[in-house]
Chain A
């Protein structure tokens, strides 16, 4: 009995931290409508700054708590700086761009933290005066955790007072509901948003700094917390503070007891929970229906079939690419093979985003399913490569059919969050199920047979399969299926009014896109000879988004060009410097700032201006 009580209290302590971080995230989202990936990085920075300050002053209670507060304020200031320097320019951009901009910040902070604090785990000093534990029904429980448990409700109360009893809070709530009307009444939205980013980031920093006595500070804290905080925010209802509090408590307990009941699938549990909540309560536990659901991206002018000589460019390009092995060495062929694979991956994601208007945050899941499907067949059944490759799109397609059935029931950000949930479930399985998937050791020895083992032979095989699939995807875009998808994207209501089952077509598109990504994954597994859980992780999904963005979502060739650009840039930068994340992050930020409507949108605007002049 007492053991369960202590477990329950541990769950409460974990919930407190989770609440601090997710309350910040939900406040920022509620007001700015920006999904801030960098929120986890602010948490991590709070932990690192907290660690440094506590190392210096943390011998006295005043020094310790002063250090925690200072770390939180410093992180808050950084958040405000990000609003002024970056987000402010993007409020009118498609959500995808805002998301990518904050992901650029994630990469920059990763390398900055690594430069400043190194990559070793840092163990912090414990809070003076709270080092001991108390006995609760004869079980020891850390005193510090009791303080954390109390802190959660206190912060909730203070935030409630701030939002309901101050003019600033009233203005923030007004702007949350109708930014434009608040501005027309004389409220400066920009100032308000800077303040909100300060508050939200400071809460993340506070959460991070408070973790110092509890766990080692490291460079992986950002992604793990931000994904968990997303879950809390979505489960609680986006923008709802009380919802975030309740969801934190539930998820804290789910983790505390989940580890007892299902030690193997603790990571999956949280995402399963979120998927179930979203299916039952579409807007989270305490969320309200959005009056205008957030839109994914502006589609731009309609796609038209290329005519004249342009029509032959893809075939010509394919022919040229097929001739490359005559002149190129092995290294170039390896890189090109990867480019072709990623082009297929990006094009499959573009089918969802560009044609369907469905922004998936978890497309890596299907890439990974294909890769793991192939690798597992080879490892457990000694399947030959052709069979393993054929199974990749089938497995990924089936996975996408299942996940897609749930995902297409929601739109906008909730769709994105569901895709993220399914990707995290797939990732957790690959990461935690050591016996079957090898866990983070991955699966090694997935090599092509002798006839395809040469770099040139495998390159040509990849080119043929990926090229063929790209051709099919293009056919789909200009078939009635493609027009139907686009109709559903531009106006779901009108499409339904003329008799189109929008959801069903989105579901098919999801499966088709997943299947194509799966083939790319299978090809990738054999090209590398191994698979790892990172193939399904969030950064992989984001990479795919960056590729689609770089090329622009308005054209079918966009994602292919984007994949090539992105991969060549990445390989080049990685070979030049170990700070490639910093460079890549800055490139993303500059791209988003320079082309707030996307590269293709920029070119189109330029074109139109020329035509009008």
Chain B
């Protein structure tokens, strides 16, 4: 199961680095683009044949391969674009509306 990431990079203007500079590498992992999402994907693990096309097509690297070989979405970063659902040859992924 993918763990939820705490927002650390998003600070108030008084704590922002001079000129909005980024002083450390890897800060984009702290920007939770999953908050932009209107729909989230749900995988039917019974239908999934582990082909990995969703993993390849995902533009945000928001699909994780588990040690057991299954695929899961990382909802910290999944923007809900639906490409994985569109490309899945087994129609194992469905997009579900986010609740208010």
A binds B: no
Q: Could you tell me which A residues sit within 8 Å of B by CB distance?
A: none
Q: Could you tell me which B residues sit within 8 Å of A by CB distance?
A: none
